[in-house]
Amino acid sequence: MKAEEIFSEALRTLREGGIILYPTDTVWGIGCDATNPEAVAKVFAIKQRDDAKSLVLLASDLDMVARYVKEVPSIAIDLVEVNDAPMTIIYPEAVCGEAGKPGDRWHLAWNAVATDGTVGIRIPLMDWCKNLVFKLGRPIVSTSANFSGEPTPQRFSDIPQELKDAMDFVVPPSVDTQSTGRASQILKVGLRGEIEIIRK
């Protein structure tokens, strides 16, 4: 498949509620539309992961972040503006739907958000990822391509075949031009400028 065909197929799969395996600016990820609770539930099932655990989401820019959290702390804006490395920010008060109700594009899926209402969002540095999220028009899930409790694969070849087989679409590794193979730093921010370093 040509690059544009790969991109289009990944986008189509996300729009239809499917699950993709794709390269990010950190590690290979399992992704879906983060506003679709059924798709998010599939991700948890594939990873054999407790759905009480939170997920990292990707947004194309701060404008998209602002649509899915009740307030973007000013410290988060400052951090994003000076950031030159993969950085996940945990925001307070996500805008999310209710359990048992169908998803809609204006609310994050209830199961994509932590039980305390916070949500971890990263604006990817990799253009391919950023464009995919932008074209979808809403955040996508970005959880590492491994089964729960197993090591995070740093290369496509490290990803278990069983996991690849569970995907609706697998982005070929040739598209992986900027993945670092390393996890992002994680910072938790508060509305009054508080910062907690979760992972350097």
- Of residues 169 and 51, more confidence is placed in 169
pLDDT at residue 99 above 90? no
Q: Mean of the pLDDT values across residues 111-137?
A: 94
Q: What residue numbers bound the domain in which 175 lies? A: 3-199
Predicted confidence (pLDDT) per residue in 177-196, tens digit: 556 677 788 989 988 888 88
For 170, counting Cβ atoms within 10 Å of its Cβ (0-12 exposed, 13-18 middle, 19+ buried), the class is: buried
The predicted structure's pLDDT at residue 6: 94
Q: pLDDT-derived band of residue 134, with 50, 70 and 90 as boundaries?
A: very high
CA dist list (Å): 81 to 44, 64, 67, 154, 182: 32, 15, 18, 27, 21
Angle at which helices 3-15 and 127-136 cross, to 10° = 40
> Which CATH number covers residue 170?
3.90.870.10
C-alpha angle with apex 117: 115 to 120, nearest 5 degrees? 95
Q: What is the mean pLDDT of the chain?
A: 90
What is the arrangement of strands in the sheet containing 143-144, beginning at the earlier edge strand?
Answer: 143-144, 29-31, 20-22, 169-170
DSSP H helical segments within the chain, as ranges? 3-15, 37-47, 62-68, 74-82, 127-136, 161-165
The predicted structure's pLDDT at residue 37: 95
Predicted confidence (pLDDT) per residue in 54-88, tens digit: 799 999 999 999 999 999 999 999 999 888 889 99
Our count of domains for the chain comes to 1
pLDDT at residue 173 above 90? no
pLDDT at residue 89 above 90? yes
What's the farthest any 2 CA atoms get from each other in the chain? 49
